[in-house]
């Protein structure tokens, strides 16, 4: 059975800020993104790369899905970033501003080579692709399926709106299409969809409205830029009692199917395939993460 | 000899005979009558007690070389009284005094260190000597006797037993009348409650009230009454209102502190003692103020009301009162301007004597009825002992305050602190200075989880309640290991054998001593 990694919240922390890196491990985010890109000044790139490498390699938070965001795919830093990031052994590397599936394939090849050199099993490190332009959005499905390492795509709203000559607003109508288009591509490719950041860290009510919309559209989680956003966002990705009951029923049917050595399992007349089973496991993991006691059901996640 | 928290103590330091701490509630109470120095007025039926200036009042008080003088610390870093009085005493050529305020805050202009250097002061007793004075005492300042540091509850006890015998008490008041009725609640430099000086007023041989705001007789309200006051002096300025506490303290935006505060409030709300009529003391640090806000939310959600909030008051506790979330405020100290002026709102907001608040040897003290007490700390060790005095560089970072009293008095004492501060671990193998014995501490709340103390009287109850609420429980050893894994184990602070401070517990025994810090200063 695949291990379930919750992706309700992913918190960016700058690789140039040691104290924030230490503290970030203590908040309730599911995914911790050590950033080498936008939050790190040009003069600090080398130091940040070393610091992030040592932090992830030797002080990795035990209960987090750990991600390193590298610099731009055409920047002078990308090769050294990948060398350090892969060898640090995070769960995933987050690629900024992906626009074409060839870019993913090039990076995936590079990661494979470094994994081999470092003695890491091939394919260990996953990829998250940030979609931050109209071109990336148009190619989203091809990007998501360019390599099996890709497990999630995230919308970068600020750069996306800039590429569209749109204006960024709080209600986010200008990214409504992009959110749906990205979600559609993610669902078709079977990868997770991560919503854009809500930039105003002082507007908790605005964050709630924005997260409610994202959850209702179908996103699996949201990127956070400040720790105070985490609990607010997590709360929206807590499943309802009805959803938990349904997830338990699905997993019971799967278990029953296994006991009876059935190839295909159905519930209420519908076939339960692998994605449905994974979604049910994720629902239970989300419930457990929210402190909801689950009676019965397999203890995954 | 070694005391009950494992501290190596000398049997005598100068003239101070060390009575070692032997455990909570192990020290037998004295039945001797209290030792007041107060005397009948030698010149009765005066129509005014005003003196032309400080020097005239000092001379009239009979202050002489070697005597003991006291002050309160309610003007905090905005205090201008201590400096003016010491300057006047110094100019009068009086030497060798024991300086015994309720606490020394970081007063820089004039520097108290200079009054030690010129011989005006040669002994110090207080709850804390934070700042320049404390650092100098630890490093190279020479006094005739070691500094005696006592928690708030131990000071009135020491005064009543005669261990601290005050010759002249100088009491700053933001309003006073010519007969000495005075208060901190009104006037341009109001500081709020004068709870720390009640005992001085009642017990000192002479009492001098100092104000910059003489009001028509009688002063209203009367915090300290004329029957205890010998002289009244008007000066130009008793304090700097911006430093006394302007407005309400701002709520921290530090996400780490907010997380700790939330956890502490969640722990309170998870306890079975969190019910209608519960009581609490949260304090004035950044985490404490945030904790009060989270506690207010919990109280509102539970549809209950606290019977009283105790101790140092802040604007957000007053806000809880306004919202009907707390029925009574028992205030010994006001931490901001909103709290300082809140007394006129309602008779349910009451200014109380520090002795009533915290002195365990009273016929009773309020702290011993408290449900929840939230405390800060610089360091906590794996035995849950607390250090609130000395920092990692051998500096005097804070005062003892009422922490040891609150920890022991409250049913549930909660220490809030981050696992590390900068590059310094806060959870350690052994605290540098022990101020509060670990057995009185119920739990330590950090950003990395809550550690319950198995040696605390309410451990079993807390374990059940917090586990049932799904709060993240860890061991104190886990927190220590986490801290050390992030910072490494610091090199111990090196000291000489010379004892420079004696740290008393709330029962008057010695819980620790501080030895002189070795410095790299080139002589």
Q: Give all domains of chain B, ordered by start, each with its CATH number.
A: 49-245 (3.40.1080.10), 255-490 (3.40.1080.10)
Residue of A nearest to B470 (CA): A291
Which of A151-165, A175-189, B507-521 shows the lowest mean pLDDT across its residues?
Answer: B507-521
When CB atoms are compared, the residue of B422, B447, B470 closest to A26 is B447
Q: Which of A21, A23, A29, A204 to mutate to test the interface with B (most CBs of B within 10 A)?
A: A23
Residue of B nearest to A229 (CA): B255
Predicted model pTM: 0.88
Residue B422: count other Cβ atoms within 10 Å of its Cβ. Answer: 9
| pLDDT at residue A297, as a whole number | 53
Residue of A nearest to B483 (CA): A22
Average pLDDT for chain A: 92
Interface of A with B in 5-24 (CB under 8 A): 19, 22-23
When CB atoms are compared, the residue of B255, B470, B486 closest to A22 is B486
| pLDDT at residue B42, as a whole number | 82
When CB atoms are compared, the residue of A19, A26, A293 closest to B259 is A26
Q: How confident is the model at residue B249 (pLDDT cuts 50, 70, 90)?
A: low
| pLDDT at residue A299, as a whole number | 45
Per-residue pLDDT, averaged over A172-191, amounts to 96
β-strand B175-176 against B168-172: which pairing, if any? unpaired
Decide if pLDDT at A233 tops 80.
Answer: yes
CA distance A281 to A300: 7
CATH code of domain A9-236: 3.20.20.60
A226 Cβ under 8 Å from any chain B Cβ: yes
Q: How confident is the model at residue A301 (pLDDT cuts 50, 70, 90)?
A: very low
| pLDDT at residue B248, as a whole number | 63
β-strand B16-17 against B50-51: which pairing, if any? unpaired
Contact across the interface for A228 and B422, Cβ inside 8 Å = no
B486 Cβ under 8 Å from any chain A Cβ: yes
B468 Cβ under 8 Å from any chain A Cβ: no
Per-residue pLDDT, averaged over B59-64, amounts to 97
CA distance A104 to A95: 9
When CB atoms are compared, the residue of A22, A27, A291 closest to B255 is A27
Per-residue pLDDT, averaged over B293-316, amounts to 96
Per-residue pLDDT, averaged over B178-189, amounts to 96
Q: How confident is the model at residue B346 (pLDDT cuts 50, 70, 90)?
A: very high
Per-residue pLDDT, averaged over B318-331, amounts to 97
Q: How confident is the model at residue A1 (pLDDT cuts 50, 70, 90)?
A: very low
| pLDDT at residue A279, as a whole number | 84
| pLDDT at residue A62, as a whole number | 83
Residue of A nearest to B447 (CA): A26
Decide if pLDDT at B522 tops 60.
Answer: no
Q: What is the DSSP string of A63-108?
A: TSEEEEEPPPTTSTTHHHHHHHHHHH--SEEEESS---HHHHHHHH
Average pLDDT for chain B: 94
The percentage of chain B sitting over the pLDDT mark of 70, rounded to a whole number, equals 98
Q: How confident is the model at residue B258 (pLDDT cuts 50, 70, 90)?
A: very high
Residue B267: count other Cβ atoms within 10 Å of its Cβ. Answer: 27
- The helix (run of H) or strand (run of E) holding residue B124 is strand B121-126
- Sequence spans of domains, chain A: 9-236, 241-289
Chain B residues within an 8 Å CB radius of A19: 422
Decide if pLDDT at A171 tops 60.
Answer: yes
Contact across the interface for A23 and B256, Cβ inside 8 Å = yes
Decide if pLDDT at B247 tops 70.
Answer: no
| pLDDT at residue A6, as a whole number | 87
| pLDDT at residue B246, as a whole number | 62
When CB atoms are compared, the residue of A22, A226, A293 closest to B420 is A22
Contact across the interface for A26 and B422, Cβ inside 8 Å = no
Per-residue pLDDT, averaged over B81-91, amounts to 97
The percentage of chain B sitting over the pLDDT mark of 90, rounded to a whole number, equals 85
Q: How confident is the model at residue B523 (pLDDT cuts 50, 70, 90)?
A: very low
Decide if pLDDT at A300 tops 50.
Answer: no
Decide if pLDDT at B165 tops 90.
Answer: yes
């Amino acid at each position: 059975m695949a291990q379930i990694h919750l992706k309700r919240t992913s918190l960016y922390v700058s690789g140039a800020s040691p104290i924030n890196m230490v503290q970030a491990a203590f908040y309730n985010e599911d995914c911790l993104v050590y950033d080498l890109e936008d939050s790190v000044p040009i003069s600090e790139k080398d130091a940040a790369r070393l610091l992030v490498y040592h932090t992830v390699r030797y002080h990795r938070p035990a209960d987090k899905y750990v991600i390193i965001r590298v610099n731009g795919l055409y920047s002078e830093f990308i090769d050294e970033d990948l060398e350090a990031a892969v060898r640090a052994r995070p769960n995933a590397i987050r690629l900024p501003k992906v626009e074409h599936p060839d870019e993913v394939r090039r990076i995936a090849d590079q990661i494979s080579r470094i994994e081999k050199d470092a003695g890491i099993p091939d394919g260990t490190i996953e990829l998250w692709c940030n979609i931050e332009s109209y071109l990336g959005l148009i190619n989203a499905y091809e990007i998501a399926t360019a390599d099996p390492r890709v497990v999630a795509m995230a919308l970068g709203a600020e750069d996306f709106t800039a590429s569209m000559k749109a204006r960024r607003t709080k209600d986010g109508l200008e990214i409504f299409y992009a959110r749906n288009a990205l979600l559609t591509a993610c669902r078709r490719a079977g990868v997770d969809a991560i919503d854009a950041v809500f930039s105003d860290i002082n507007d908790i009510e605005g964050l709630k409205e924005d997260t409610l919309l994202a959850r209702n559209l179908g996103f699996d989680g949201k990127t956070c830029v400040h720790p105070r956003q985490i609990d607010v966002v997590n709360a929206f990705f807590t499943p309802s009692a009805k959803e938990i009951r349904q997830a338990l029923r699905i997993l019971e049917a799967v278990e029953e199917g296994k006991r009876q050595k059935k190839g295909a399992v159905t519930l209420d007349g519908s076939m339960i395939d692998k994605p449905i089973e994974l979604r049910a496991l994720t629902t239970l993991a989300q419930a457990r993460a929210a402190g909801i006691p689950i009676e019965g059901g397999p203890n995954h996640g | 000899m070694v005391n009950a928290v494992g501290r190596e103590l000398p049997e005598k330091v100068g003239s101070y005979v060390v009575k070692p701490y032997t455990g909570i509630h192990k020290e037998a109470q004295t039945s001797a009558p209290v030792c007041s120095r107060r005397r009948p007025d030698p010149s009765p039926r005066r129509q005014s007690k005003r003196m032309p200036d400080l020097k005239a009042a000092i001379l009239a008080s009979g202050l002489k070389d070697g005597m003991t003088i006291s002050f309160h610390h309610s003007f905090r870093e905005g205090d201008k009284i201590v400096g003016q009085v010491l300057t006047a005493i110094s100019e009068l050529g009086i030497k060798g005094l024991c300086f015994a305020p309720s606490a020394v805050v970081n007063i820089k202009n004039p520097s108290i260190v200079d009054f030690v250097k010129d011989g005006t002061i040669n002994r110090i007793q207080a709850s804390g000597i934070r700042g320049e004075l404390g650092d100098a005492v630890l490093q190279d300042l020479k006094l005739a006797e070691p500094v005696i540091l006592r928690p708030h509850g131990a000071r009135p006890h020491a005064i009543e037993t005669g261990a601290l015998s005050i010759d002249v008490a100088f009491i700053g008041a933001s309003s006073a009348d010519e007969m000495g009725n005075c208060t901190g609640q009104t006037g341009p430099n109001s500081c709020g409650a004068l709870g720390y000086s009640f005992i001085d007023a009642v017990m000192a041989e002479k009492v001098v009230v100092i104000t910059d705001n003489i009001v028509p007789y009688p002063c209203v309200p009367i915090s300290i009454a004329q029957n205890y006051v010998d002289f009244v002096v008007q000066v130009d300025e008793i304090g700097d209102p911006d430093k006394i506490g302007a407005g309400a303290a701002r709520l921290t935006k530090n996400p780490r502190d907010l997380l700790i505060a939330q956890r502490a409030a969640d722990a309170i709300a998870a306890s079975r003692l969190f019910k209608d009529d519960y009581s609490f003391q949260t304090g004035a640090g950044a985490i404490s103020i945030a904790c009060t806000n989270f506690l207010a939310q919990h109280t509102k959600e539970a549809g209950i009301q606290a019977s009283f909030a105790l101790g140092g008051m802040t604007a957000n506790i007053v806000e809880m009162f306004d919202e009907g979330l707390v029925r009574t405020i028992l205030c010994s100290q006001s931490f901001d301007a909103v709290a300082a002026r809140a007394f006129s709102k309602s008779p349910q907001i009451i200014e109380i004597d520090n002795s009533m608040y915290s002195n365990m040897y009273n016929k009773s003290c309020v702290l011993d009825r408290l449900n929840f007490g939230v405390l800060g700390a610089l360091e906590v060790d794996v035995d849950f002992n607390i250090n609130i005095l000395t920092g990692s560089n051998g500096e005097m970072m804070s005062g003892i305050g009422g922490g040891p009293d609150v920890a022991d008095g409250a049913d549930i004492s909660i220490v809030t602190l981050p696992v590390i501060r900068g590059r310094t671990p806060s959870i350690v193998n052994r605290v540098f200075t022990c101020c509060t014995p670990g057995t009185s501490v119920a739990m330590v709340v950090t950003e990395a989880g809550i550690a319950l103390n198995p040696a605390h009287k309410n451990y079993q109850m807390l374990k059940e309640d917090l586990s049932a609420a799904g709060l993240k429980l860890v061991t104190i050893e886990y927190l220590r290991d986490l801290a050390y894994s992030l910072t490494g184990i610091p090199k111990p602070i090196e000291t000489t054998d010379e004892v420079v401070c004696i740290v008393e517990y709330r029962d008057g025994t010695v819980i620790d001593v501080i030895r002189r810090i070795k410095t790299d200063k080139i002589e």
